[in-house]
Structures are given as C-alpha cells and as structure tokens.
Amino acid sequence: MSDSPLQGRIFDRSRRFEQLSAEIREQVAALRLHLLLPETQAQALEPKKDKDGLTVEGSKLLAAVSKYLSESKAADMSTDAAKRLADGLVLSGFVSPRKETFALQGFDFDGELFTLVDPSFSSADSQSVWAFKEGAIQAGELKRKKTGMMAKFTGGTSSVYVVANDKKKTVAVFDSDVARHPIMVLDVSSGSVEFDAAIPHGVRLTGSMGSEVFGTPSKEKQDEWLNSFINAGATYREAFNLGAQDVKSFYELKDFDMQGNEVSMDKYRGKVVLVVNVSSKCGLTPTNYPELAALDEKYRDQGLAVLAFPCNQFASQEPGTHEEIMEFVKQYNCQFPFFEKHDVNGANARPVFTYLKAKLPGSFGNFVKWNFTKFLVDRNGQPFKRYAPKDLPFSFEEDIKTLLAQQATETS
C-alpha cells in the first residue's frame, strides 16, 4: 500500500497512470477530448443512462478508441495499442468498470459495462468519488460512529470512505472508494473539528448539518486526518485541558524535563520566553535549529529563554527517545532546555501549549499546525505573538529585542 495520504482505487489508478510513458499520457489526454465531443458520444459510444449515471459497453469504447487511432493515423493502430489507451482511460479517471476491480491494467473491454465518471461529462454524476478527486488532500477508509437505536442492533461503527477536499472545502463520505453517490457531503468552510474520545482515535466534525464522529486507525492517523480537515476549511476546537486557558500568566504552568522532573514555568519569571515545538526529521529542522541556537547564544544573557518541546504528532517526525533527540541536536550546539516529548494538540496536549494556543490562536484556531510553531512570551508572562512554522527565528528578532528592552512589571 502506498504511503500517500490519498488512498483508494481512483488514486491508485491515478498514480499508475502517471507511471505510463509521456507519449501514452499525451495520447490519452487527446483521446479524452475526442470522446467528449457530442458527435463522438452519440455515434460511437452510445451511452445509456441508469441510476449510476452514463454507461457504455466496453466493446463500443474499444471500437471508438481503435477508430480514433485510425483517423489520427497513429504509428501503432493495433488492437493492443487500442487496449493500452483504453486502460489509460480507466487509470486517468475517464471511465470505470461497472464491476469494479483492484486491477491497474488489462481491463476487460469485451463484455463489460463502463461508467463515464469524468466530471467533464455534462450528464455524469457530479457527486461520485471521482468528482472529489481534484483538490483532494486526504482520502481513505475510516470508521463512522453510528447514532440512535440502529447503533444498538448493528454495532457502534460502520466503515466508510472519506475524502477531504481543500478546493471544494468539503468532506465527502461514501460507502466505498468507487461509490457513484455519497452518503453525505459536509461543507466544512464554517465548521469545526476536534479530537473525540467517544471512538478510538476519534475526530469530530461539526457543521450546519450537525456532527459526525470518525474513528481513525492510529494516533498518527488521527492527527493526520484532523490536520487535513483543518486544511479543508474547518476550524480547530480544543476540547481538552480547557482549564489551562483560564490561567493568568505563563508562570502558573508546569511541565516535565527529559528526566521526568516537574518544572514550573515560574522558573523563567522576568524573562522573554520563546516556546517552540521541535522535531528531528522535519524539512524545517535544518533551518530552524541553527537559528534557535544562535538566538539563544546572542540574547541569553539579556534575558531570552528558548524552550524546546519535542513532539511526534506531525507525520511522526520526532520518533526518537529523549536520549536520541539530545544526541541529534548536538550538531546544532543547542544550549537551551528541552522538555519531555509530548503532544501539543488533543486530549493529551501539554498545558503550556493549550494555554498559548488559547491566547494566541492561529489561522486554524486553537491548533498547532506543524513542527516549529513558535510562541513569544513577554517579561510579565503574557503571550505576545505567535509565529508560523516557516517563520525562521531571526525573522522576528526585532520583536525579541523590543520585549527584551521592556522591564517586568508583574509581581509574584
């Protein structure tokens, strides 16, 4: 199985299509345009409409391809060449076998029916899985939590195929990865998403149509799906550790160092604090760590405290033990303190981050979107500003200098 976030047969076929030669892909693209012509459909394909949309006989489809090769005076007009292009029509998402298969080549065009699934067809079903392919950022099988009396008799969950689409700002739910009709399509542009403990590794989506709870295969997938729902348009809602939002200053919070010792943030009273969730295997690691180390060295004696919080929630990019993490950062000469590896989102989010997210929400609400999100706290323990993962530490050096120039006024 591919490691791609886009799972399912239509995406498997698409990846296989991209592996074909450039010549065949170009031929398929031209063939698709030819088959979309009204006269081609009427005279060659003769599609029939049924509950799943427009269907065409495989033999007529293959004959139309052969005729196209002949009329275009292709170098290879053999039956095998026609079948290769017809396979390309399936792989590219133009048609799909009525009797679905997991095959990625050698489709049966002799006696089978094919559904015209390309959204370009004016009569094609605009709500099939194929209609949500363009703009899809996550797709795969999830467990959907059942509600009401039926849940008692049929079990608490059912398997569904879900597609998060950031172009349409929707989450579409289907019976399968080749379904012609959705169970529902959730508009998440004004909805919210949160972790949910009602189902293993659960994620709750709430919108104008109500709430849906989906169970994911693992904690890593839970984080991945929640992130995709946010990218599709939903706003993150932190449903746990809400008490941390009510504290009056950063100094009231506590965490644990890598040896398991409790550390009060009051230890940093009167300092300007830079809080960062770090990882060792992120693409941002080689650019962020050197600047964090340089900032720490440059401003430590003036009152800057850089605090690193390792987290493995983002694509599992901090998988190592505490010892392995500290061995890794030696190359950057990091002299600032590291805290234990822990979550920054969800039910187990560390209070430091729950508090900072509440006080300084980002574009997606109370949510840390990725590694190396940064929070700056002033000398009075008040959150000052939040910086995105791609904002390198020295890009906000002036903010740090401004805060360092101020005097602490808070009293203990």
Q: Quick one: pLDDT at residue 241?
A: 55
Of 56, 57, 86, which is closest to residue 69 (Cα–Cα)?
Answer: 86
Question: Which SS3 state, helix, strand or coil, does residue 46 take?
Answer: coil
Answer for the pair 339, 329: CB distance below 8 angstroms, yes or no. no
Find the mean pLDDT for residues 316-323.
92
Answer for the pair 377, 399: CB distance below 8 angstroms, yes or no. no
User: Above 80 in pLDDT, residue 279?
Assistant: yes
For residues 387 and 99, the model is more confident at 387
List, for residues 15-29, the tens digit of each pLDDT value.
999 999 999 999 999
Which sign, positive or negative, has the C-alpha torsion 332, 338, 344, 347?
A: positive
Rounded to a whole number of angstroms, the CA Rg of the chain reads 27
Report the catalytic residues: 282
Q: pLDDT tier at 123 (50, 70, 90 boundaries)? A: very low
User: Above 80 in pLDDT, residue 208?
Assistant: no
Find the mean pLDDT for residues 377-401.
96
Answer for the pair 276, 310: CB distance below 8 angstroms, yes or no. no
Q: Which residue has the tokens 């009797």?
A: 99
Mean pLDDT over the full length of the chain: 88
Q: What percentage of the chain exceeds 70 in pLDDT? A: 92
Q: Quick one: pLDDT at residue 124?
A: 44
User: Above 70 in pLDDT, residue 341?
Assistant: yes
List, for residues 231-272, the tens digit of each pLDDT value.
898 888 765 555 665 788 999 999 999 988 899 999 999 999
Answer for the pair 196, 177: CB distance below 8 angstroms, yes or no. no
HSE-CB of 114 using CA atoms within 13 angstroms: 26
User: Above 80 in pLDDT, residue 110?
Assistant: yes
List, for residues 129-188, the tens digit of each pLDDT value.
999 999 999 999 999 987 755 555 555 889 999 999 999 999 999 999 999 889 999 888
What crossing angle do the helices spanning 9-18 and 79-91 adopt, rounded to 10°?
130
For residues 258 and 44, the model is more confident at 258
* Four-point Cα dihedral 213, 217, 223, 224, nearest 10: -100
User: Above 70 in pLDDT, residue 411?
Assistant: no
Nearby residues of 248 by Cβ (< 8 Å), 6 or more positions away: none
